[in-house]
Amino acid sequence: MLSWETLEKACHECRQCQLAEGRQNVVFGDGNRNARVMLVGEGPGQQEDQTGVPFVGRAGQLLDDMLAIIGLDRTRVYIANIVKCRPPNNRDPSGPEQEACIGWLRGQVSLLGPKIIVCLGRVAAARIIREDFRITKEHGILFPRKAYQLMAIYHPSYLLRSPRYRPEAFEDLKILEAAIRENAPETFP
């Protein structure tokens, strides 16, 4: 099994798709490498590309607020993306780009061994839970898989654009909190 350091170093050297050509930084992941809860978005945006850290812009601030609602912060979870380099103009990563990068995420999941994986938005849910996943109909539902459970919630950037969905997101967070308390209670301080 690879170590975190070996996996991250190899990821930083990756040139498997055209996203590597325009990147400033590889955005490998951030947080507690012993966490039992993993959050996965689709890909880094401009600020993430500049810093090399996932979810640091306005959406990241909202994600921090969402975690705080259920008594968590970035020191208690691990955050990653499907693709590790920024798609131009913050577009959704293409199928081939996702395919070129998915091995890095699989390595992170293998090393982390999470009990709960939370997909942040439609793109991550379609890649991780099910290709035809419908975020508007299936958000907040727990899907058991192997040694962990999967769940999708609205992406924080979507909630910034469509604040009317925040009450639904709050309900999803309460479901997530209950699932963590049941399956990974050591996550809470």
How far apart, in whole angstroms, are the C-alpha atoms of residue 119 and residue 139?
A: 9
Q: Which CATH class is domain 4-182?
A: alpha beta
Average pLDDT score over the chain: 96
In the block, tokens 């999967």 appear at 150
Helix or strand run (H / E) with residue 143:
strand 143-145
How far apart, in whole angstroms, are the C-alpha atoms of residue 184 and residue 99?
A: 30
- Backbone dihedral angles phi then psi of residue 38, each to the nearest 5 degrees: -120, 135
Instruction: Supply the DSSP symbol for 76.
Output: S
Enter the pTM of the model: 0.96
Contacts of 137 (CB under 8 A, 6+ apart): none
Predicted local distance difference test score (pLDDT) of residue 114: 98
Structure tokens of 168? 């639904």
Structure tokens of 45? 């945006």
Tell me whether residue 133 is exposed, middle or buried, using C-beta atoms within 10 angstroms of its C-beta: 0 to 12, 13 to 18, 19 or more: buried
pLDDT digits (tens, 9 = 90+) for 36-54: 999 999 999 999 999 999 9
pLDDT digits (tens, 9 = 90+) for 89-119: 989 999 999 999 999 999 999 999 999 999 9
Average pLDDT for 107-133: 97
